[in-house]
């Protein structure tokens, strides 16, 4: 949009007066932020309304991305950037003697997810608006986001994240679009005269689902799509005592803080049905305002199931088409399959969602009937050709459970993994049987990130340098960064690149100082691992690497200085992950206070990892640790963010690391460790013996022993617990097996660091190749190959 500084100042002053009945100068920072957000909301409001009207007017097919998590991050900066008014607004703020950075920092960070899944969903929404695709989000407005993490004596402590205490400026409550979601009770099927069945509900519990819409502003496109988040409220006018009321509101009260373990969780099931039913109902209502014939639904609507949490969209859409639209089963099924598509995010069988049939039947009696019929017809259709054994294994109902991943594949026309390796492994592991039945449905869509947030907003020193070097085209099409390869050996460019990185490291050092009271050396290698704390991601291997370096330095070896930076939350009930957190903090205590390694080895574990903290850490990284056991990390996306800001990747051949290396060149990364195939082989033939590896390697032996021999104070129970997992339970994630090659690869990076021109060349290769991992390309591939929703402003 076009805006002058003068006009902005006028608008901003007016907003301050309207909202707070006072002059801008007299407001608190939080109020100044709120007034600013209010102005910016006004700047896109017309385009938002117009986008919706345009889609309707030209009967545009729309995609609805159903996800139980969204992590949009702070939106002020990204809205200004995408509207193209960031420079003007910042100039205006300066003229008002306000500091833009202070105002940006006053915004909260909605933690409506655990990690990669939620961040991916938000990246896709940003990308779709930015290439002009009609794509909207559908999720839950949790009253409390993922817990706020603090460390007390090195232990994780969880505080509630009351992110709605201050009004959330970007949401708009749409009471007029509320719908009713039904739970429990009994269902009676009464034959209608036309032969169809009418579902009559007795004693069902009605819950009001109220949507809150958040604008997803496209980058320079004038397209503003919608993220719709649903809140549960009692139906107005019905008597509710406090207990009944809170039984309703608790549905959207908390984010389930664990996306990797399944335990008995009726509340989670209620959450899932709540946002799926509300979303599907509102899509159908909107569709019927535009079109007469619901048979045309797949022509105008695509619904995407992001991981299995929204998989009951299969059953809910069937219920509506059967019960409310009185279609035959075959008609309804054809529409459902043509409308839905599904992304799988995990290969770990223990993380595959399934619901005990009695729980599902009790809470969602009509959906359970539909599930039984899906199951019956599935068996009837495929048993003859594929045999009872296979069909039993692949059916939606089995072992007394409703298996959501299977249901999602059966009820969708397309199913994808999130990196090439992952998509291949799906076909011969968790979805093998369904691949046999439906091979044409399977495809790959490697994840992506939005370089607007991670480079343009979070890494301005780099963004400025790229502008000076290439002009601004890379901002719209980051594949333009390929041109950087010509600069890979240009000393001036490498010097400027190093200076930009150093500026980011100084900024992160200030954050570390303010948060932990630790003074780190900005000329050291910043070695970063940021992601959920999980055994498969192997933060433990990184810790072992630190202990190896610590011992070497103490023994008088000379190595380049390193600062190890961690960010990670552990699920509150995940004992092992919490033990590793305590270990990292204990190791930090040890090395940060040991004068023998002062300034040469430091560990900074920053609490409360989230999108905003990631924006501080990522631009400052020299090394990106992507060290999951091969075959366990579906894709990873922090690997891509760190690549895009010029870190070198220290990685196993897992997830998207493989594609990143292929893109940047074989020498661009430090790879190590077992391959997925080797791991699978060892698991099959039980040939791995962790204790033997420990006994055979004196360095590893010494490192492991540090966990139990008192060398690291403060881990009297955690140290032995971790060592028990490694030696007595044979090291499920092959940490010991990969230790030696990990240290070797890490030492190669030390050597490279001592040859700055070589290091710089590798950085350039990574930056040059990073553009293809923009989510803009990922969503276009989904649009063309899965959703049939095309970009209005394609980047290609």
Ligand X SMILES: *Cc1c(COP(=O)(O)O)cnc(C)c1O
With respect to ligand X, which residue has the nearer C-beta, 216 or 611?
Answer: 611
- Which spans of this chain sit near ligand X (rule: CB under 6 A)? 71, 115-116, 119, 531, 610-611, 614, 636-638, 641
Cα 786 from Cα 796, distance rounded (Å): 18
State in angstroms the smallest separation of the CB of 71 from ligand X.
6
Helix, strand, or coil (residue 330): helix
Cα 757 from Cα 491, distance rounded (Å): 8
With respect to ligand X, which residue has the nearer C-beta, 287 or 576?
Answer: 576
For 89, list phi and psi in degrees, rounded to 5. Answer: -65, -40
With respect to ligand X, which residue has the nearer C-beta, 124 or 688?
Answer: 124
Q: At what angle do helices 420-428 and 657-664 cross, to 10 degrees?
A: 140
With respect to ligand X, which residue has the nearer C-beta, 132 or 636?
Answer: 636
Known catalytic residue at 288: no
Nearest residue to 71 (alpha-carbon basis) of 116, 128, 30: 116
With respect to ligand X, which residue has the nearer C-beta, 412 or 770?
Answer: 770
State in angstroms the smallest separation of the CB of 636 from ligand X.
4
The b/e string for 262-281 (b: 16+ C-beta within 10 A; e otherwise) is eeeeeebbbbbbbbbbbbbb
Say which residue the tokens 């503003």 belong to: 224
State in angstroms the smallest separation of the CB of 162 from ligand X.
19
Q: Which of 5, 469, 637, 652 is catalytic?
A: 637
Question: Is residue 406 within 8 Å of residue 434, measured between CB atoms?
Answer: yes
Q: Which of 309, 487, 532, 538 is catalytic?
A: 532
The secondary structure of 632-679 as a DSSP string is T-S--SHHHHHHHTTPEEEE-S-TTHHHHHHHH-GGGSEE-S--HHHH
Q: Which of 501, 505, 531, 616 is catalytic?
A: 531
With respect to ligand X, which residue has the nearer C-beta, 413 or 569?
Answer: 569
Q: Which of 86, 641, 761, 762 is catalytic?
A: 641
State in angstroms the smallest separation of the CB of 640 from ligand X.
8
Sign of the C-alpha dihedral computed for residues 459, 460, 461 and 466 taken in this order: positive
Known catalytic residue at 10: no
Q: Which H helix or E strand runs over 35? A: helix 29-57
Q: Return contacts of 743-749, CB within 8 angstroms, 24+ apart.
A: 743/545, 743/548, 743/699, 744/672, 745/650, 745/670, 745/671, 745/672, 746/545, 746/650, 746/670, 748/670, 749/525, 749/623, 749/648, 749/650, 749/670
Q: Which of 537, 542, 761, 762 is catalytic?
A: 537
Known catalytic residue at 537: yes
Known catalytic residue at 641: yes
With respect to ligand X, which residue has the nearer C-beta, 115 or 760?
Answer: 115
Please write down the HEC assignment for all residues of 521-590. Answer: CCCCEEEEEECCCCHHHCHHHHHHHHHHHHHHHHCCCCCCCEEEEEECCCCCCCHHHHHHHHHHHHHHHH
State in angstroms the smallest separation of the CB of 135 from ligand X.
20
Nearest residue to 414 (alpha-carbon basis) of 548, 304, 542: 304
Please calculate the CA angle 153-155-161 and round it to the nearest 5 degrees.
Answer: 115
Q: Which of 86, 223, 345, 542 is catalytic?
A: 345
State in angstroms the smallest separation of the CB of 528 from ligand X.
10
State in angstroms the smallest separation of the CB of 340 from ligand X.
26
State in angstroms the smallest separation of the CB of 471 from ligand X.
28
Nearest residue to 690 (alpha-carbon basis) of 680, 701, 703, 676: 701
With respect to ligand X, which residue has the nearer C-beta, 47 or 307?
Answer: 307
Residues serving a catalytic function are: 345, 531-532, 537, 637, 641
């Amino acid at each position: 949009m076009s805006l002058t500084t003068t006009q902005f100042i006028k608008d901003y002053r007016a907003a301050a007066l309207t909202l707070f009945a006072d002059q801008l100068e007299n407001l608190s920072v939080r109020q100044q932020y709120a007034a600013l957000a209010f102005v910016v909301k006004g700047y896109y409001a017309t385009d938002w309304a117009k986008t919706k009207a345009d889609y309707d007017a030209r009967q545009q097919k729309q995609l609805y991305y159903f996800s139980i998590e969204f992590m949009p991050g702070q939106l002020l900066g990204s809205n200004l950037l995408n509207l193209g008014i960031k420079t003007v607004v910042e100039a205006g703020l300066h003229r008002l003697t306000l500091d833009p950075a202070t105002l940006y920092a006053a915004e909260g960070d909605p933690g409506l997810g655990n990690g990669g899944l939620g961040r991916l969903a938000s990246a896709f929404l940003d990308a779709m608006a930015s290439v002009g695709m009609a794509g909207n989000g559908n999720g839950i407005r949790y009253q409390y986001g993922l817990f706020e993490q603090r460390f007390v004596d090195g232990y994780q402590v969880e505080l509630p994240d009351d992110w709605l205490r201050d009004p959330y400026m970007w949401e708009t409550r749409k009471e007029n679009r509320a719908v009713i979601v039904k739970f429990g009770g009994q269902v009676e099927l009464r034959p209608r005269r036309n032969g169809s069945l009418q579902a009559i509900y007795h004693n069902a519990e009605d819950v009001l689902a109220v949507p809150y819409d958040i604008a997803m502003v496209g980058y320079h496109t004038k397209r503003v799509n919608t993220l719709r988040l649903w809140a549960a409220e009692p139906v107005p006018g019905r008597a509710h005592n406090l207990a009944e009321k809170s039984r309703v509101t608790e549905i959207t009260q908390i984010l389930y803080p664990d996306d990797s373990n399944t335990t008995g969780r009726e509340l989670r099931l209620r959450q899932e049905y709540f946002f799926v039913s509300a979303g599907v109902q509102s899509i159908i209502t909107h569709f019927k305002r535009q079109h007469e014939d619901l048979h045309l639904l797949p022509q105008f609507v695509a619904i995407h199931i992001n991981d299995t949490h929204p998989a009951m969209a299969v059953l809910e859409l069937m219920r509506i088409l059967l019960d409310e639209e009185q279609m035959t089963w075959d008609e309804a099924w054809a529409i459902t399959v043509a409308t839905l598509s599904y992304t799988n995010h995990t290969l770990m069988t223990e993380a595959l969602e399934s619901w005990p049939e009695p729980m599902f039947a009790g809470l969602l009696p009509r959906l359970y009937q539909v599930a039984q019929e899906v199951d019956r017809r599935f068996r009837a259709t495929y048993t003859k050709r594929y045999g009872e054994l296979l069909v039993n294994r692949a059916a939606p109902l089995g072992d007394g459970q409703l298996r959501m991943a299977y249901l999602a594949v059966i009820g969708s026309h397309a199913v994808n993994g999130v990196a090439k390796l992952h998509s291949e492994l799906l076909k011969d592991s968790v979805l093998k049987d369904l691949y046999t039945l439906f091979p044409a449905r399977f495809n790959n869509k490697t994840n992506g990130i939005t370089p607007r947030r991670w480079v343009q907003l979070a890494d301005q020193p780099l963004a400025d340098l790229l502008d000076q070097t290439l002009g601004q085209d890379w901002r719209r099409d980051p594949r333009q960064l390929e041109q950087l390869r010509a600069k890979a050996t240009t000393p001036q460019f490498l010097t400027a690149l190093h200076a930009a990185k150093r500026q980011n490291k100084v900024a992160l050092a200030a954050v570390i100082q303010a948060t932990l009271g630790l003074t780190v050396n900005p000329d050291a290698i910043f070695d970063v691992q940021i992601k959920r704390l999980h055994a498969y991601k192997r933060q433990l291997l990184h810790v072992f690497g630190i202990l190896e370096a610590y011992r070497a330095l103490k023994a008088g070896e000379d190595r380049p200085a390193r600062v190890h930076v961690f960010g990670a939350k552990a699920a509150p009930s995940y004992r092992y992950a919490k033990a590793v957190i305590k270990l990292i903090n204990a190791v930090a205590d040890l090395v940060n206070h040991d004068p023998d390694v002062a300034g040469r080895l430091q560990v900074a574990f920053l609490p409360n990892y989230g999108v905003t903290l990631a924006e501080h850490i990522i631009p400052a990284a020299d090394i990106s640790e992507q060290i999951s056991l091969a075959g366990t990390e579906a894709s990873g996306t922090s690997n891509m963010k760190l690549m895009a800001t010029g870190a070198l990747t220290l990685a196993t051949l897992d997830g998207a690391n493989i594609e990143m290396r292929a893109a940047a060149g074989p020498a661009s990364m430090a790879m190590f460790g077992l391959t997925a195939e080797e791991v699978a082989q060892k698991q099959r033939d039980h040939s791995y013996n962790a204790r033997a590896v420990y006994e055979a390697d004196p360095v590893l032996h010494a490192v492991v022993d540090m966990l139990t021999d008192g060398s690291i104070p403060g881990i009297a129970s955690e140290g032995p617990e971790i060592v028990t997992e490694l030696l007595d339970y044979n090291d499920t994630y092959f940490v010991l097996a990969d230790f030696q090659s990990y240290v070797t690869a890490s030492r190669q990076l030390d050597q490279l660091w001592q040859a700055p021109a070589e290091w710089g060349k590798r950085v350039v290769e990574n930056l040059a190749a990073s553009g293809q991992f923009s989510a803009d390309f990922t969503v276009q591939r989904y649009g063309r190959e899965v959703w049939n929703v095309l970009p209005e402003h394609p980047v290609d």
